[in-house]
Amino acid sequence: MAPMVHGLEAKYFGRIAFSYLDADDSQTDEFQRTLGFYYQPEIYLLDANGNVLQKWVGFTSEQELEEAFAHYLQ
């Protein structure tokens, strides 16, 4: 999924900020607990205040992500 996500990051540059969490880094444990992380891959769409708008677990298609982006970018 990484190439697809990086492509979306380039496409939405300046409109959506993409961040990547290293699930194996113990320094991210608290953030993982806050998000409810339990499986790789997981994708979270957060608002400007860090609230989870939508969460995907496992394989997610580019179309699914773009539909959510279009909905929340209105």
Question: What parts of the chain have a pLDDT lower than 70?
Answer: none
Residue 17 has phi, psi (to 5 degrees) of -95, 125
Model pLDDT, residue 15: 94
Q: Give CA 31 to chain center in angstroms.
A: 13
Triad 72, 6, 71: Cα angle to 5°: 10
Residues 6+ apart with CB under 8 A from 22: 28
User: What does the pLDDT look like over 21-41, one tens digit per residue?
Assistant: 898 999 999 999 999 898 889
User: What pTM value is reported for the model?
Assistant: 0.85
Report the distance separating Cα 74 and Cα 64, nearest Å.
16
> Rg (Cα) of the chain, in Å, rounded?
12
